[in-house]
Amino acid sequence: MQTIVFLGSRGYGTSHEAIKTAKELGCYTVLISDRYRSGLTEADELICVPDLAERNEILVRLKKLEDKGNRIAACLSFIDPYVSCAAQLSEELGLGDFSSGALALAEDKTAVRNKLKGLKSSPFFSVIDKGIDIRGFALCHAERFPLILKPSVSNGSKDIKLVKSEGEMKEALYAFKDKQPILAEEYLDGPQYLIEAAVYKGEVLIAAVIEQEWNESFIITGYAFPAELSRDAALSLTDAVRDIVQHIGIEHGSCHLEMRYVKGRWKLVEINPRMSGGWMNKIIETGTGGNLLKEVLKMQLGEEPVFHESIPRSTYARYLTVNTAGRLLHISGIEQAMNLDGIEHVLLKTERGCIVRPPKSMGDRFACIIAAADTMQHAKKAARDAAKRLRLYVEPL
């Protein structure tokens, strides 16, 4: 039977939806996880491997699957940092060339910056290695403040610091003392966009462009789809995305980029070698009626992806966070929120008994409200009105 193997999964969002979508395509699904998740997977079969980076152990398990009659057609992951590992497994299984080297490069932010150095879309950056003279570094870059500091290997907007002085830089680097090397990047002042892209037989295809909203910790709290861009901005964005993806060397696979439009130029914030996590697929599906995740899976099975070309509905997703840490007792107002005009989805990540806290990464967002309307203004109002209906009851820690 045609089998898709998934390397790692979460209990919600893209990686969780991917398993259900693969079953809708008629595939037998296997989840390889580093822990047993009873009741938390939709997969037909769960294989536990303590270390998902141990390719040899995983290959032994996959060989046993084949011996049972499973025809492995694809092996992939939507979880950092297993994307390139899954691509390597696919190549070792003889399923094709899945750009594993390029995907591995894209998982390392310092490697990406060095690879793209010289492109118009590449902002100023510098690498701070362990043992560097922080005072000397700060003095050399005094004219470049403010700067963004972040670990070379990070995701979900985790550990991003905006520093405006030598003192703030010292404080941030002390917090990062166990996470070297650190990237120091030019602060980009301009609207930020998420670009969902796929590469099929070397051709870069843009599936969606979404404007983002963020808080003071750079946690994304709002997504507006489709992004409103001028014709010139849209054309130059397409050129910039293709240039970036081709320079990294991705010939096959999906990816998403975050870019800012600064003084008429597109600048890369970061690229990740997979489709966005969270409820991105539902946001795009609400706006277009098309299932991006299904097309990504079909592409991994060797089929050409087909992206929906209808005029999208104005769709806005509002992600919610808490201000106080504690144990969640109850969430009320869900039904009232769902009954408001324009509300398509009220999606909860957090369950009763879970710990909630002020956001330090995107994973700390506890819910997502998706609204659609005839205009973006109306969609935003609907989502924000719905958010006011939700009330969390939290027991302080």
pLDDT in tens, 107-117: 999 999 999 99
Superfamily of domain 316-397 in the CATH hierarchy:
Aldehyde oxidase/xanthine dehydrogenase, a/b hammerhead (3.90.1170.50)
Task: Give, in words, the CATH class of 188-312.
Answer: alpha beta
Q: Angle CA(232)–CA(211)–CA(11) in degrees, nearest 5?
A: 140
For 222-240, write each residue's pLDDT tens digit.
Answer: 999 999 999 999 999 999 9
Domain chopping of the chain, boundaries: 2-98, 124-186, 188-312, 316-397
Low-confidence stretches of the chain (pLDDT beneath 70): 37-41, 155-157, 309
Q: Does domain 124-186 have CATH number 3.40.190.10?
A: no
Q: Domain 2-98's class?
A: alpha beta
d(CA 212, CA 194): 7
* Closest residue by Cα to residue 268 from 368, 351, 183: 183
In order of 32, 314, 316, 348, the CA distances from 368 in angstroms are: 27, 16, 10, 7
Measure the CA–CA gap between 53 and 44, rounded to whole angstroms: 22
Tokens for 230, please give them.
């001028």
Amino acid, single-letter form, for residue 229: L
CA gap 222, 218 in Å, rounded = 11
The tens digit of pLDDT for each residue in 255-305 reads 999 999 999 999 999 999 999 999 999 999 999 999 999 999 999 999 999
Token digits of residue 265? 């130029």
Structure confidence by residue, pLDDT tens digits, 46-80 = 999 999 988 999 999 999 999 999 999 999 999 98
CB 337 within 8 A of CB 343: yes
Could you report how far apart the first and last alpha carbons of the chain are, in Å? 49
User: Residue 125 has which token pair?
Assistant: 């950056």
What residues have CB less than 8 Å from 323, skipping those under 6 apart? Answer: 358
Got the DSSP string for 318-379? EEE--SS-EEEEEEE-HHHHHTSTTEEEEEE---TT-EE-S-SSGGG--EEEEEEESSHHHH
d(CA 119, CA 249): 14
Cβ 364 vs Cβ 156: under 8 Å: no
Task: Kindly report the pTM of this predicted structure.
Answer: 0.93
Q: How far apart are CA 253 and CA 96, in angstroms?
A: 12
The pair of three-digit structure tokens given for residue 142, joined into one six-digit string: 């005094």
